[in-house]
Amino acid sequence: MFSKNELKLAYGLIIYFLFVGVLCYAAFPPKTPHEPIRMKFEVTAGNVIFEHKKHHDVTGYGLSCGDCHHTLAEDEYADAQSCSECHELDEGDEEVPKRADAFHQQCAGCHEAFESGPREKECTACHIR
Protein backbone atom coordinates (compact mmCIF):
# COMPACT_ATOMS: atom_id res chain seq x y z
CA MET A 1 0.00 0.00 0.00
CA PHE A 2 1.05 3.59 -0.57
CA SER A 3 1.20 5.99 2.31
CA LYS A 4 -0.87 9.17 2.19
CA ASN A 5 2.25 11.22 1.56
CA GLU A 6 3.33 9.02 -1.35
CA LEU A 7 -0.11 9.39 -2.91
CA LYS A 8 -0.01 13.16 -2.44
CA LEU A 9 3.39 13.25 -4.12
CA ALA A 10 2.14 11.10 -7.00
CA TYR A 11 -0.93 13.31 -7.59
CA GLY A 12 1.26 16.37 -7.25
CA LEU A 13 3.60 15.07 -9.93
CA ILE A 14 0.71 14.19 -12.26
CA ILE A 15 -0.74 17.67 -11.94
CA TYR A 16 2.71 19.19 -12.42
CA PHE A 17 3.36 17.24 -15.63
CA LEU A 18 -0.11 18.02 -16.97
CA PHE A 19 0.58 21.70 -16.36
CA VAL A 20 3.99 21.54 -18.09
CA GLY A 21 2.35 19.66 -20.96
CA VAL A 22 -0.27 22.36 -21.44
CA LEU A 23 2.40 25.06 -21.27
CA CYS A 24 4.53 23.32 -23.91
CA TYR A 25 1.51 22.78 -26.13
CA ALA A 26 0.72 26.49 -25.95
CA ALA A 27 4.33 27.54 -26.58
CA PHE A 28 4.93 25.06 -29.43
CA PRO A 29 1.62 24.54 -31.25
CA PRO A 30 1.37 21.62 -33.68
CA LYS A 31 3.06 22.27 -37.03
CA THR A 32 0.82 24.15 -39.43
CA PRO A 33 1.38 23.49 -43.15
CA HIS A 34 4.30 25.45 -44.53
CA GLU A 35 2.86 28.10 -46.76
CA PRO A 36 4.61 30.68 -48.96
CA ILE A 37 3.55 34.32 -48.47
CA ARG A 38 4.28 35.81 -51.84
CA MET A 39 6.00 34.47 -54.94
CA LYS A 40 7.50 35.90 -58.05
CA PHE A 41 7.36 34.03 -61.36
CA GLU A 42 10.04 35.27 -63.71
CA VAL A 43 8.71 35.53 -67.25
CA THR A 44 10.27 37.49 -70.12
CA ALA A 45 6.80 38.83 -70.98
CA GLY A 46 6.87 40.50 -67.52
CA ASN A 47 7.25 39.00 -64.08
CA VAL A 48 4.16 37.89 -62.18
CA ILE A 49 3.79 38.61 -58.46
CA PHE A 50 1.43 36.16 -56.81
CA GLU A 51 0.09 36.94 -53.34
CA HIS A 52 -0.09 33.33 -52.17
CA LYS A 53 -1.06 33.91 -48.54
CA LYS A 54 -3.58 36.63 -49.35
CA HIS A 55 -5.36 34.31 -51.78
CA HIS A 56 -5.79 31.76 -49.01
CA ASP A 57 -6.10 33.81 -45.83
CA VAL A 58 -9.57 34.36 -44.36
CA THR A 59 -8.74 38.06 -44.12
CA GLY A 60 -7.88 37.91 -47.84
CA TYR A 61 -9.82 35.96 -50.46
CA GLY A 62 -10.45 32.93 -48.23
CA LEU A 63 -9.73 30.21 -50.81
CA SER A 64 -8.98 26.62 -49.83
CA CYS A 65 -5.57 25.05 -50.57
CA GLY A 66 -7.37 22.50 -52.73
CA ASP A 67 -8.89 25.18 -54.98
CA CYS A 68 -5.42 25.49 -56.54
CA HIS A 69 -3.45 22.41 -55.38
CA HIS A 70 -6.21 20.49 -57.08
CA THR A 71 -4.91 16.94 -56.71
CA LEU A 72 -4.78 17.06 -52.89
CA ALA A 73 -7.39 15.82 -50.45
CA GLU A 74 -8.04 17.94 -47.39
CA ASP A 75 -5.70 15.95 -45.14
CA GLU A 76 -2.84 16.25 -47.65
CA TYR A 77 -2.54 20.05 -47.86
CA ALA A 78 0.75 19.99 -45.94
CA ASP A 79 2.25 18.10 -48.92
CA ALA A 80 1.47 20.81 -51.50
CA GLN A 81 3.91 20.65 -54.41
CA SER A 82 5.00 22.85 -57.26
CA CYS A 83 2.68 22.60 -60.29
CA SER A 84 5.78 21.58 -62.27
CA GLU A 85 5.77 18.21 -60.54
CA CYS A 86 3.05 17.28 -63.01
CA HIS A 87 2.70 20.14 -65.51
CA GLU A 88 5.81 20.15 -67.66
CA LEU A 89 7.43 23.31 -68.91
CA ASP A 90 7.20 22.67 -72.63
CA GLU A 91 4.86 19.73 -73.09
CA GLY A 92 1.19 19.31 -72.40
CA ASP A 93 -2.16 18.51 -73.93
CA GLU A 94 -5.84 19.35 -73.52
CA GLU A 95 -6.14 17.21 -70.41
CA VAL A 96 -2.86 17.95 -68.62
CA PRO A 97 -1.83 21.39 -69.89
CA LYS A 98 1.78 22.54 -69.82
CA ARG A 99 2.80 24.72 -66.90
CA ALA A 100 2.08 28.17 -68.34
CA ASP A 101 -1.27 27.07 -69.78
CA ALA A 102 -2.15 25.47 -66.44
CA PHE A 103 -1.50 28.81 -64.72
CA HIS A 104 -3.37 30.85 -67.31
CA GLN A 105 -6.36 28.51 -67.11
CA GLN A 106 -6.45 28.22 -63.33
CA CYS A 107 -5.58 31.83 -62.34
CA ALA A 108 -7.66 33.60 -65.00
CA GLY A 109 -10.41 30.97 -64.89
CA CYS A 110 -11.04 31.56 -61.22
CA HIS A 111 -10.93 35.36 -61.59
CA GLU A 112 -13.51 34.97 -64.36
CA ALA A 113 -15.70 32.86 -62.07
CA PHE A 114 -15.38 35.32 -59.16
CA GLU A 115 -15.74 38.31 -61.50
CA SER A 116 -12.73 39.88 -59.78
CA GLY A 117 -8.97 39.68 -60.24
CA PRO A 118 -7.15 39.85 -63.62
CA ARG A 119 -8.95 38.04 -66.52
CA GLU A 120 -7.32 36.15 -69.33
CA LYS A 121 -6.94 39.15 -71.68
CA GLU A 122 -5.70 41.52 -68.96
CA CYS A 123 -2.09 40.45 -69.47
CA THR A 124 -0.43 43.42 -67.80
CA ALA A 125 -2.54 43.12 -64.63
CA CYS A 126 -0.47 39.98 -63.92
CA HIS A 127 2.67 40.55 -66.02
CA ILE A 128 4.22 43.67 -64.60
CA ARG A 129 7.40 45.12 -65.96
Q: Residues in the site for ligand HEC, rule: CB under 6 A? A: 33-36, 39, 41, 43, 45, 48, 50-52, 54-56, 61, 63, 65, 67-71, 77, 80-87, 95-97, 99-100, 102-108, 110-111, 114, 116-118, 120-123, 125-127
Q: Distances from the Cα of 13 to the Cαs of 8, 20, 24, 53, 94, in angstroms?
A: 9, 10, 16, 43, 64
Rounded to 5°, the CA angle 83-55-71 comes to: 35
CB of 10 to ligand HEC, least distance (A): 43
CB of 26 to ligand HEC, least distance (A): 22
- Pairwise CA distance, residues 119 & 110, whole Å: 9
By C-beta, is 11 or 114 nearer to ligand HEC?
114
- Pairwise CA distance, residues 21 & 94, whole Å: 53
By C-beta, is 12 or 109 nearer to ligand HEC?
109
By C-beta, is 4 or 34 nearer to ligand HEC?
34
Are residues 80 and 33 in contact, defined by beta-carbon separation less than 8 angstroms? yes
